[in-house]
Structures are given as C-alpha cells and as structure tokens.
Amino acid sequence: MLYAGIAWSVDGYDVEVIDADGNRATAPTHWDAARVPELTAWLAAPGPALEPPHAIVLESTNGLVDGLLTAAGLPVYRADPWVLPQRPDFGSVPALTLAERARTGLASLSALTAEGGGQSGRDDDYHGGIRRSAPYEEELTRAGRYFRHGPRDRPEIALTFDDGPDPVYTGQVLDILARYGVRATFFCVGLHVHTLPDLVRRIVDAGHSLGNHTWSHPFLPDLTPRQFRLQLERTEEAFDRAVGRIPAVFRPPYGARTPEALGELLTGGPALALWDVDSWDWARPGPERIARTVLDHAGPGSLILMHDGGGDRRQSVAALPAVIEGLLERDLRFVAADALMAGARTEGAGTHRGE
C-alpha cells in the first residue's frame, strides 16, 4: 500500500511516495505548473510494479491540483493545520511529512471529492469567516473597493475565469473568446503565472484583463495576515515580471473571506471582486447545465464566475460558446471585471464552494 504527499513551493510541486513501512517507494520528484496533467497521469500509474497510492495528501494551502486528481478518480485527502507541524510563511510542509501523515493518521484527514471541492468539511470555518468579515466588507464597499456586480442600468457584463493559466484549457478559452470578439478577465494563481508567463502574455495581448487569485489557492481561514500578504505580493511580482503590470482586482479562493485577510486589503492593494452568477462549472454538471445556469441568472451588471484551470475544465470549454451566444442575444457588452467597479454596489455577500 502506497501513500503520496504533494507539497507546493515557489517553483512548483514536490511529490513523495512511501510504502506501508514508511520507506520511499519512488525517488522524490518535482513538477512545475505546466506538468500537472503529467503528474496526475504519473500518480495514476507510478510504475509497472506499483499500484496507485492508497491516499494522496495535500495541505489546505494547496488548492491547485486536487481538481485534476479527483477527476482522474484518485483518492485525495486534505491535511488541515492542526494535524501538521508549523509550515513556513510561504510554502507548505514537506511532501514526505504529508505522505507520512497519510500512512500513520489517515483518519485525521479529510477526503476530497470532485463535487465537494477542495474545502469539503470546512463549512463552519468558511461561513464563520464570512460572517465575521461583514464590517470589513462594509468598509471596503464605502471605499469603492468591494463589489459583486456592476450597475444594473448598463448593458454591460463581465465574464471571468479562475485558477489559470492552465497549459491545457486556457488556450482553448482564449480561442473561443477570439472567435466571438468578446473580452474577459482571468483571475490567475501566482504559481502558474510564474511558470507560464507566455500564456499570461497571450491573455493580455488578446485584450483581456487580469486579476490576482493568490499564489497557491489557499483556504484563507488557515493563513496568518503575513501569509496572506505574501500570497498577494508574490503573485503581483509574478504578474509584473510576466506582463509589466499589477492587477487592480483580487478574488479570494473559494470566495472565502476572513477579517484578517480583509484587514490587509483595507491598508491598500487591489479591490475585492466576487461575483453574482456562479456557473457551477467546477462541479462538472455537464456543459448544457453550466450554460443554462449562467443564462438563467445573468443580467446587466453581472459578474460571471467560470474556470479555466484548477481541474478538468473540458465542460467549461464546451459550455462557453452557448454562454457567449446567449448573452450576446440580449445585447449585453462584455467588459473587464474592473470596469464594473465604477458605480458598483453590493447587495449582500455571496458564498461559493467551488475551485
């Protein structure tokens, strides 16, 4: 029986696989963001004499690979902070530590599913953080730096994509957007911006805008203020290196908020951009269901959430033409998410359980 741990760092993902006695079953491996599909395939078939791992363990600060792993049918578990030693301010605990935790304490870990997303079992922390953040959201709103949608009296709409850039799906999304001549906003994770700068440049060269989506897609309740600040700053630095600009908008992974994180935003930085239409594409309900969900709920001023990375996004790509055509038929004009900030207002805080 094998156990695998996946750690993240500034340069990508470190993987350790051990056997039931705690011995390494394979040599340690390192994978950059462009090779996550290859990593998934390797874990599914690690060698001719080895079975797939009985458990693959990630930290709660790593929300970038579980989607592909669960879509491939692999057994993925999340290790929360209280079952691990203290991690560094930027990066996760070693992959070997994660694999060993699976071997000796699998019952203390949370099993993840494609439907439940990366934060399965953390509902109380998720919703509690949002409730406690209400005063900070009100202050950001008064400052014009928090919004879920734009003005409802303008025929404008913003299509947004989270968790990229992805080596497989982002290019397909860009091709479809170009075919229809519409603009979108890509909320990118810093680790992938760092690894795939040419793809970020392609997004910008095509006339689309960018948003900050943290470095490693962490669950914000598990970050200290300093760790959150580093997630934002390192991602800004990656954008600056790739395209010479820093995004004006930030979207928290899973839509999670905490007073500690929003307190950091109050001191300056990007505006907080959520959404009012969740396509639920992260749950992979089928392309027709994704398109119908968007078209049933979108209207003037809507900020639409879709995904180009963080998992198997074939259904998102397949649904996109119907989404665009349906919105164009309503004479809606596609604009960047930050363009909706002018005159934007908030009608209560939304929640999200996606990637």
φ/ψ (deg, to 5) at 29: -130, 155
110, 121 Cβ separation under 8 angstroms: yes
DSSP 8-state class, residue 182:
-
Catalytic residue among 80, 162, 163, 278: 162
Query: How many C-beta atoms lie closer than 10 Å to residue 245's C-beta?
Result: 12
Catalytic residue among 208, 213, 217, 307: 307
| β-bridge mates for residue 78, sequence order | 58, 110
Question: By CB neighbour count within 10 A (0-12 exposed, 13-18 middle, 19+ buried), where does 251 fall?
Answer: buried
φ/ψ (deg, to 5) at 190: -60, -40
DSSP 8-state class, residue 120:
T
Q: Is there a catalytic annotation at residue 162? A: yes
Tell me the helix, strand and coil percentages in the chain, rounded to 5.
Answer: 40, 20, 40
278, 255 Cβ separation under 8 angstroms: no
In this structure, what token pair is assigned to residue 261? 């994180």
Gap between the Cα atoms of 170 and 269, Å rounded: 26
Query: How many C-beta atoms lie closer than 10 Å to residue 227's C-beta?
Result: 20
Gap between the Cα atoms of 284 and 243, Å rounded: 32
Gap between the Cα atoms of 323 and 66, Å rounded: 26
Catalytic residues: 162, 307
